[in-house]
Amino acid sequence: MSLRQAVDRSRAYLCLECGICTGSCPVSRFHSAYSPRLTVEKALLFDEEESLRDAEMWACLTCGTCDIRCPSTVDFTGFMRSLRERARQIGQEGVCTHAETIEAVIELQTSAHYRRSTSWMASGKTVGKAKYYYFAGCLPFLDVIFDDIGFEGRRIGTSVIRILNRIGITPAVSEGEVCCGHDAYWTGQTELVETLATTNIRAIRKTGAKKVIFSCPECYYMFKHVYPEIVGDLGFQPVHIFDVLVPHLDSFKFKPVKAKVTYQDPCRLARIEGVIDEPRRALRALPEIDFVEMQRIGKDAVCCASSNWISCSRVNKQIQLDRLEEAISTGARTMVTACPKCNIHLRCAARDDECKIKIDIVDIFVLLADHLGGGKRGT
């Protein structure tokens, strides 16, 4: 896609230079040189190669806040993705974090000889073929990389399986599953995304599943919005676990949670999909829990400052610390997350030597699974 096509597709030419995107952007708040509006302006007015060599394009979090607030409905994040795709074609890319380990893991999953062990899900019941499929994404791999900050991706996955089992669902899983390609998509690696997508679709179709359940908002986003553009009809329905869980909440027996907690809305789940009330209903179903809200919630919630494993800087850290301060100001000592990225990045910030904020970061599915009682009400 040419730069001109990217401008047309994103409606970037409709930008009124009103500044709402800049005022809304979490990056612009701490980095005055960055603005979604300015990025569009450079692309429209400057030489194409000069625009593509602009390092500021890699600062965008793709959180979507500017998109939903733009009075001209400019697709800023879509434009940024296209800009990054073009930039890669001339050898420009963002600075990878974590010594490019995560990128290497994703690349390895494109090998024809790659097979993923499903033994890590042994604490729950799964099968090879079923009506439902559970897509775990990269959860099994992230533990090794983020062990030093206490992240437990496999525990999130097994917690989801336990919850599904309690509902009466024994999902299919597959050794042929690979990364969903979310981060590669937002950094412009189109061919890599296509390879990952076709591999996943092939693996899931072999199980015969008609509904695929996701706990990761980013995986859910990819299957719901991006994969159909690549493969057409998926042959199954992408479903977020909250859609499956919430109708059963009244029948669960949960053990009391004597804690004051607040909740971090993931960008893809709240702002993009509008899944805002469901996780709150799940938290309020826990007896004795003291659930308090931060000031900025739902579609106005602040991104965890993850930038697709690229360009993590003092600006990103400041966004995270600002969010943690907002959480602690509620009086809560536990922040509940529903996205692996939120969990990792806010957990990392909370353990930073410069951070004086003491708050626990807990995944919502782990919290729910750990407080499952002996059965359902009435059974």
The structural domains of the chain, ordered by start, are 3-89 (1.10.1060.10), 98-245 (no CATH), 251-373 (3.40.50.1860)
| Contacts with 21 (C-beta within 8 Å, 6 or more apart), sequence order | 35, 36, 37, 66, 69, 70, 74, 76
Proportion of the chain above pLDDT 70, given as a percent: 97
* Contact (Cβ atoms closer than 8 angstroms) between residue 253 and residue 376: yes
> Which has the higher per-residue pLDDT, 195 or 16?
195
* Contact (Cβ atoms closer than 8 angstroms) between residue 211 and residue 131: yes
Check whether 172 has a pLDDT greater than 80. Answer: yes
Check whether 104 has a pLDDT greater than 90. Answer: no
Check whether 86 has a pLDDT greater than 50. Answer: yes
Closest CA to 322 of 298, 350, 300, 344: 350
* Contact (Cβ atoms closer than 8 angstroms) between residue 181 and residue 137: no
pLDDT at 138: 92
pLDDT at 2: 75
Check whether 282 has a pLDDT greater than 90. Answer: yes
pLDDT at 375: 60
Check whether 379 has a pLDDT greater than 70. Answer: no
Cα–Cα dist 152/222, whole Å: 23
Provide the CA 21 distance to its chain's centre, in angstroms. 21
Proportion of the chain above pLDDT 90, given as a percent: 70
Strand partners, 291: 261
Mean confidence (pLDDT) of the chain: 91
pLDDT at 276: 98
Check whether 291 has a pLDDT greater than 90. Answer: yes
Check whether 123 has a pLDDT greater than 70. Answer: no
> Which has the higher per-residue pLDDT, 103 or 112?
103
Strands 237-240 and 211-214: parallel
Listed range (114-118, 272-276, 319-323) with the worst mean pLDDT: 114-118
